[in-house]
Amino acid sequence: MGYMSELIGACGQRSIGIAAMMNKGVTPEMFARLPTKDGKPVQTNHPAFVYGHLSIYPARLLEMAGEDPSAVALPEEQLALFTPKAECLDDPEGTIYPPMPDVMQRFMDGYTKALQRFGEWDDAKLAGPHQGAEAYQKLAPTLGIAATFFLTTHMAMHLGQVSAWRRFMGLGSVFG
């Protein structure tokens, strides 16, 4: 393991740990619900959408590294639900999003496997280019910067949304 992968991997592990903590007290019934304010839904991201959306990126990272992403890829039918352009929908009947255990299992499994593979990349590989699309080349010119984005930055932003969603739903802080 290179030092860069050790460093970024540590932050990634912490992110996964926080992701698991964020589900404390969340029930399957509320997992895919939008909060309401003044009788109207608030168009913020609920956990089903967040964890499903995040589950796209372990495969994306492996693709960018030139590796086989199939072990962590989302099923085709779920990609449309969770793509960045998809709208997060209220799902009171549980007919739109996969059940909470399935979403969480795929999330944890995907990131655990991606981090394992990531840990095998040396610093030279991480300091080099990646095979991502042009938009990713602008966002992150090296594989290491792209990996930190997917394993830490991007995940942290969406977990912050779950943190705020928890408060909407009457749940407390998971810290302290």
Partner 1 sequence: MGELSEVIWANAVRTCEIGKALARDIPIENFARLPMGEGGPIFMNHPAFVYGHLSLYPARVLKMAGLNPQLAAVPYWYEEVFGSGTICRDDPFAEIYPDKNEIMGQFDRSLGVTADLVRQLPDEIMEETHTMSPEFGSMLLSLGAAAEYLLNNHPMFHLGQVSAWRRCMGLEAAQW
- 111 to 68, 100, 140, 167, 170: CA distances (angstroms): 15, 17, 19, 26, 28
Contact pattern from residue 51 through residue 70 relative to partner 1, giving x for each residue in contact according to CB under 8 A and a dash for the rest: --------------------
Tokens of 109: 């499994």
Which of 30, 54, 65, 162 forms a contact with partner 1 (CB under 8 A)?
A: 162
Q: Is 148 in the site for partner 1 (CB under 8 A)?
A: yes
Q: Which residue has the tokens 């039918």?
A: 77
Total residues contacting partner 1 by CB under 8 A comes to 45
Helix (H, G, I), strand (E, B) or coil at 40: strand
**Residue partners of 63: CB distance under 8 A and separation at least 6:** 69, 131, 132
Which of 7, 71, 79, 108 forms a contact with partner 1 (CB under 8 A)?
A: 7
Q: Is 89 in the site for partner 1 (CB under 8 A)?
A: no
DSSP single-letter state for residue 37 = E
- Cβ closest to partner 1, residue 80 vs residue 139: 139
41 — alpha (psi -120 to 50), left (phi > 0) or beta?
Answer: beta
- 84 to 2, 10, 12, 54, 135: CA distances (angstroms): 31, 26, 21, 10, 14
From 30-38, 70-78, 98-106, 114-122, span contacting partner 1 (CB under 8 A): 30-38
- Cβ closest to partner 1, residue 21 vs residue 79: 21
Q: Is 15 in the site for partner 1 (CB under 8 A)?
A: yes
Q: Is 24 in the site for partner 1 (CB under 8 A)?
A: no
CA distance 101 to 31: 10
Smallest distance from partner 1 to CB 169, Å: 10
Q: Is 5 in the site for partner 1 (CB under 8 A)?
A: no
Residues that bind partner 1 (CB under 8 A): 3-4, 7-8, 10-11, 13-15, 18, 35-39, 42-45, 123, 126-127, 139-140, 142, 144-145, 148-149, 152-154, 156-165, 167-168, 176
